[in-house]
Amino acid sequence: MAKIIVTAALTGGVNVPSMSPYLPVTPQQLIDESKRVYDAGGAIVHIHARNPETGQPSPSVELFREVATSVKAKCNIIQCFTTGGNVEWPVADRAKAVLTLQPELGTFNAGSLNFGIFPIAEGIKEYKYTWEKPFLQGSENGIFPNTFKTLKELSQLFAESNTKPELEVYDAGMLNNIAYLVSKGYLKKPLHIQFVLGIMGGMMATPGNLIFLYNSARELLGEFTWSACASGRHQFVLGSIAMNMGGHARVGMEDNLYLNKGVLAKSNAELVEKIIRIAREFGHEPATPDEARKILGLKGIDKVNF
């Protein structure tokens, strides 16, 4: 009945290596995971870079370049770079990879929020790296800053790179931010929104919240393409609802490490295969990368700078 754009958020900048031996960290692991996701039917990979030695989130453009060029050589999957990276980095660092490599798509976090990942530390018995525990615990006093000033700067960077912003919305207030940026010409329609639920500091991952956000966004912004992203076990529940509301679905280890209760996913491809199995049960088919480009109005893989 519908073409569903499946995004795989491969590694993110929140989960730490001690949480799963399958979390991709090195450029080669990210490249291999991207190809596995493509073969499984994914249309977009959402990419963060990490220090290959320590697994720490990294804004290094060279790491992004290494992954992006190799993935592009293997398949035409859409690459969506993060500009979220790590809550402590200045926006210039966060946006460097997008500005330099000019991917088709990049995340655009549409407002500030607390990003409480410290509870994760309570569940980890043994750490592989000394940076992990302070990194997680530090979020208790951290905030993910996306002020109006930085939102304006970021939207200008996206325009310069001809990269489509994927608007990350964690709570209803961010819809007002988007409406303001559209009214002032900083963001251009047609918009693409990723509703990100279940982050401690944003709205919780419930069907009611997803439907509320979608309806509020429709009232405020009119038509837009959109996808649902949820943490942990909510990933498949909200992805299933979104795909039956005309939306799309994001899965992946950035948001959820588990294939089933207590069973770690061995690859992001397993999570992609699962959401596609669910989609097919509803009579939907996964969109190919080129079908997704048409749906989202992307510039094309030949227009990137890598």
**Nearest-approach distance from CB 12 to ligand KMH, in angstroms:** 5
Rounded Cα distance between 126 and 221, Å, is: 46
**Nearest-approach distance from CB 287 to ligand KMH, in angstroms:** 21
Residue 18 engages Zn ion in binding (rule: CB under 5 A): no
Rounded Cα distance between 223 and 8, Å, is: 24
Rounded (to 5) percent helix, strand, coil in the chain: 45, 20, 40
In a 13 Å sphere around the CA of 299, the CA atoms on its Cβ side amount to: 19
83 binding partner (options Zn ion, ligand KMH, none; Cβ < 5 to 8 Å by kind): ligand KMH
186 binding partner (options Zn ion, ligand KMH, none; Cβ < 5 to 8 Å by kind): none
109 binding partner (options ligand KMH, Zn ion, none; Cβ < 5 to 8 Å by kind): ligand KMH
Residue 11 engages Zn ion in binding (rule: CB under 5 A): no
Stretch that binds Zn ion, among 5-13, 123-131, 186-194, 239-247 (CB under 5 A): 5-13
**Nearest-approach distance from CB 82 to ligand KMH, in angstroms:** 3
Q: Which is nearer to Zn ion, 2 or 143 (CB)?
A: 143
**Nearest-approach distance from CB 215 to Zn ion, in angstroms:** 25
**Nearest-approach distance from CB 7 to Zn ion, in angstroms:** 10
For 272-303, b/e burial (b = at least 16 CB within 10 A) is bbbbbebbeeeebebbbbeebbebbebbebee
CB 51 within 8 A of CB 58: yes
How deeply is 166 buried, as exposed, middle or buried, from its count of CB atoms within 10 A (0-12, 13-18, 19+)?
buried
**Nearest-approach distance from CB 84 to ligand KMH, in angstroms:** 2
Q: Which is nearer to Zn ion, 1 or 101 (CB)?
A: 101
CA distances from 286 to 15, 70, 253, 299 (A): 27, 24, 19, 20
Binding mask 79-98 for Zn ion (x = CB under 5 A): ---x-x--------------
Q: Which is nearer to ligand KMH, 279 or 304 (CB)?
A: 304
Q: Which is nearer to Zn ion, 85 or 286 (CB)?
A: 85
286 binding partner (options Zn ion, ligand KMH, none; Cβ < 5 to 8 Å by kind): none
Beta pairing class for 192-197 and 164-169: parallel
Q: Which is nearer to ligand KMH, 142 or 239 (CB)?
A: 142
Rounded Cα distance between 144 and 75, Å, is: 33
Of 36-75, which residues contact Zn ion (CB under 5 A)?
Answer: none
**CA-closest candidate to residue 109, choices 66, 160, 52, 150:** 150
Binding site for ligand KMH (CB under 6 A): 12-14, 82-84, 87, 107, 109, 115, 144, 168
111 binding partner (options Zn ion, ligand KMH, none; Cβ < 5 to 8 Å by kind): none
Rounded Cα distance between 303 and 285, Å, is: 27
Residues that bind Zn ion (CB under 5 A): 12, 82, 84
